[in-house]
Amino acid sequence: MSSEPAHYPDVDRPVIAMAKEFAANTRTGRHGHVRAQLIHAIEGLMVATTDHGTWVVPPGFALWVPPGIRHDVAMHGSVSMRTVYVRSAEAASLPDAIRVVAASALLQAALVSLSADPPAYDERKRGGHLAALILDEIARAPATPFALPVPEDQRLAKLARALIRDPGAALDINGWADEIGVSRRTLTRLFRAQTGISFGTWRRRLRLMRALERSADGTPLARAAAGVGYRSLPAFRTMARKEFGADFEAVLGSRRPAKGSHS
């Protein structure tokens, strides 16, 4: 995933699929593609970052990246990735913004199947049918709230990046307003206008997503939740369900501790 030239630029197919394996705690490095990309992990959790935000991609979900967006993907736990690169003509009718989407069982199976085929598959046969199915499933895939947009305002961006570094920071909204030199009213108004969500919602999402990352790295879930400011695992689970609903239930289900575990 380091650069577009490695991704078969001479192969003219609507969708090119690849399988990649990554060790825990590795990352792709910042890069971009001429083609659009859908990134899915059949094992492990991924976190993608751009200049404009952070996206957490748990198992059962996928990251859609339009052409030209420079991004870096960090691996939490060993990651078995299945990714596809979508030709510009086909990408033009798909979402024009980066997002985490729910990956249907059909989409996941098609990604695995096409990645086992050669890049220059016969478009009239199985490969072509799988490519068409993948495009259709991407178009149908619903967006999820596993996103942390970074505000454009430099003062608010400073706040956001400070919290990303330390999600358990104790300052409340009044303290952060003083810290960056704005009124609480200005912070509240600008944050919602530039991210689409309130400061409180953004901060809760950050804490929940960081706890997921730490859990994927092997930290017991209760300890991961405590590390981002939750006093108990039940409180963390309650907030997770409130914030992410069925999406987070799916993630919790995929990370259910083994019998006898205290996480």
Note the pLDDT tens digit of each residue in 52-105.
999 999 989 999 999 999 999 999 999 999 999 999 999 999 999 999 999 999
Q: Looking at the domain assignment, is residue 262 inside a domain?
A: no
Whichever domain contains 189, its CATH number is 1.10.10.60
Q: How many CB atoms lie within 10 A of CB 44?
A: 20
Domain stops at, among 107, 140, 173: 140
The residues near 242 (Cβ < 8 Å, ≥ 6 apart) are none
Mean pLDDT score across all residues of the chain:
89
Domain stops at, among 111, 140, 169: 140
Confidence of residue 140 (pLDDT cuts 50, 70, 90): very high
Confidence of residue 252 (pLDDT cuts 50, 70, 90): low
What percentage of the chain carries pLDDT values higher than 90? 75
Confidence of residue 262 (pLDDT cuts 50, 70, 90): very low
The answer to whether the beta carbons of residues 91 and 85 sit under 8 Å apart is no
pTM score? 0.85
The answer to whether the beta carbons of residues 85 and 164 sit under 8 Å apart is no
Looking at residue 261, its pLDDT comes to 38
Residue 257 sits at φ, ψ, to 5 deg, of: -65, 150
Note the pLDDT tens digit of each residue in 141-186.
999 989 999 999 999 999 999 999 888 888 999 999 999 999 999 9
Q: Looking at the domain assignment, is residue 44 inside a domain?
A: yes
Residues 11 and 89 in one domain: yes
Residues 62 and 162 in one domain: no
Number of domains in the chain: 2
